Amino acid sequence: MPPSYRTALAAIALCAALVDSTPSDADASAGTAADFAVDIPHQSWGDSATETSSASKGTLVASGDSDDIETPRPPPGQFTASSFSWELQSPVTSPSPVLDAAMVYDPDAGYMVLFGGWASGSYRNDTWAWDGSTWRQLHPRTSPSARSLPSMVYDRALHEIVLFGGYTGPGAVAGDTWVFKDGEWHELQPAVSPGGRAGAAAAFDPSRHQVIMFGGNRAPFGYSDETWAWAGTNWKLLTPRSSPPAHYLALMAYHRIRNALVLAGGISSGGVLADTWSWNGHNWRENSPRQSPSARYLYGMSKFGRRVVMYGGYEDSELGETWMLRQASWQLLDAQPSPPPRSDTVLAWDRDRLEAVLFGGGRSAPVNETWTLRHVTFPSSAKP
């Protein structure tokens, strides 16, 4: 990312870390595999995890995630580190190069939605759609204010995209809630709402039919260890008996095999993190995979079919690795050709075209490249 932008984020992070140096009573010790198994029946964080398949269709059956129940199951022996491939797309039109935008897939509309970010010294509030082959700018009648690092999730229970918070200026964070549906943005006025924050992790939990948001920077009040749930009208502050320490610039995605939301990486008051946590709808548990990505933040992460995929990020320099959380462990993929190393990127799963889409981010400067990641056995398209 450009030095000036990274300097600003680093200064905000340092201030937040100083404010947040006192551990919260909610900070949790690591949970064991047995703890995880108790909270999620028949599933443990170990080699014994299995997938239930439909013999007639060769697909995974998971009652909590019927949204993409027809995702193909790769044949035995073909789910290896080298069975994935990145491809650089060449759309006729593209958004401008951008850092720290938000992107999610809207299955009702059939396209990826990209919003906001930072580029050329200013925050942005443009909205774009990716239909699998090209980008087109949308022109809603009203939009959230320009911002970077908002939390944005597709709420499958209400068939709309939910956006919360983000940076609207150096050290200034928003605390507003917006929804995007049928090509239009609408600001909501919930009676209960989290305080303003940016860089919070958020994802939709299909088993519990709600959006979950964790952490973020509450500038100038420090990092957050709060867990919030959104069910359409109000936010609710949850009180799990165990919780990760405050995280900033972490990401979260639904892992269908585990039937849990997965939180990974980010920054805390103690530095850059390499941890993995799971949310089962009631409590957080720290997991201990046999292998994990190195500590990082400002990466891209999303679900990938029944699993979770991560790309890029930053610690001492930009990273260019592709990792996948399968069952018991993270696996470093040998997906070629790989996008150049970058941070501040966005990554989201297209459930209709069976591919993860990567956009933007950068190294010395923002880029506007569009990359797609696929498994070699997935059909070229599941949607005309």
> CA 225, CA 215: separation in Å to the nearest integer?
5
141 pLDDT above the threshold of 90? yes
The DSSP 8-state label assigned to residue 33 in this structure reads H
Contact (Cβ atoms closer than 8 angstroms) between residue 246 and residue 254: no
Burial 107-127 (b: 16+ CB within 10 A, else e): eebebbbbbbbbbeeebbbbb
Q: Residue 18: which of 228, 246, 244, 344 has the closest Cα?
A: 246
Q: Which residue, chain included where needed, has tokens 């609207």?
A: 168
Q: Please give the tally of structural domains in the chain.
A: 1
Q: Which pLDDT belongs to residue 4?
A: 54
Question: Which range, of 17-21, 225-229, 282-286, 357-361, averages the lowest pLDDT?
Answer: 17-21
pLDDT > 90: percent of the chain: 72
> CA 372, CA 361: separation in Å to the nearest integer?
14
349 within a domain of the structure (yes/no): yes
Going by pLDDT thresholds of 50, 70 and 90, the confidence category of residue 376 is confident
The DSSP 8-state label assigned to residue 65 in this structure reads G
Q: Which pLDDT belongs to residue 328?
A: 77
In tens, the pLDDT along 193-238 reads 999 999 999 999 998 999 999 999 998 889 999 999 998 999 999 9
Query: What integer best gives the mean pLDDT of the chain?
Result: 84
382 within a domain of the structure (yes/no): no
Q: Which pLDDT belongs to residue 377?
A: 80
Q: Which pLDDT belongs to residue 231?
A: 87
Q: Which pLDDT belongs to residue 72?
A: 60
The DSSP 8-state label assigned to residue 120 in this structure reads T
Mean pLDDT calculated for residue range 129-157: 98
Mean pLDDT calculated for residue range 314-338: 94
Mean pLDDT calculated for residue range 172-194: 97
380 within a domain of the structure (yes/no): no
> CA 118, CA 110: separation in Å to the nearest integer?
26
249 within a domain of the structure (yes/no): yes
Contact (Cβ atoms closer than 8 angstroms) between residue 346 and residue 361: yes
Provide the whole-model pTM: 0.84
Q: Which residue, chain included where needed, has tokens 């009573």?
A: 25
Mean pLDDT calculated for residue range 91-107: 97
Q: CB under 8 Å to 349, separation ≥6 — which residues?
A: 105, 302, 303, 304, 305, 355, 356, 357
Q: Residue 223: which of 193, 249, 243 has the closest Cα?
A: 249
Question: Which range, of 50-64, 110-124, 280-294, averages the lowest pLDDT?
Answer: 50-64
Q: Which pLDDT belongs to residue 32?
A: 30
> CA 164, CA 146: separation in Å to the nearest integer?
12
> Which residues constitute the domain of residue 340?
3-375
384 within a domain of the structure (yes/no): no
381 within a domain of the structure (yes/no): no
47 within a domain of the structure (yes/no): yes
The DSSP 8-state label assigned to residue 213 in this structure reads E
Q: For the domain that residue 83 is a member of, what is the CATH number?
A: 2.120.10.80
Q: CB under 8 Å to 101, separation ≥6 — which residues?
A: 114, 115, 116, 117, 124, 148, 346, 359, 360
**Angle, alpha carbons 262-129-299 (nearest 5°):** 35
Mean pLDDT calculated for residue range 288-306: 96
95 within a domain of the structure (yes/no): yes
Q: How much helix, strand and coil, in percent to the nearest 5, is found in the chain?
A: 10, 40, 50
Q: Which pLDDT belongs to residue 77?
A: 56
- Three-class DSSP category at 111: strand
Q: Which pLDDT belongs to residue 178?
A: 98
In tens, the pLDDT along 9-63 reads 655 555 555 444 433 333 333 333 322 222 222 233 333 333 333 222 332 223 3
Please name the residue ranges forming H helices in the chain.
Answer: 3-19, 33-39
Strand partners, 174: 166
In tens, the pLDDT along 58-80 reads 322 233 444 544 456 666 556 68
| DSSP assignments along 336-377, one per residue | SSPPPPBBS-EEEEETTTTEEEEE--BSSSB---EEEEEETT
Q: Which pLDDT belongs to residue 380?
A: 61
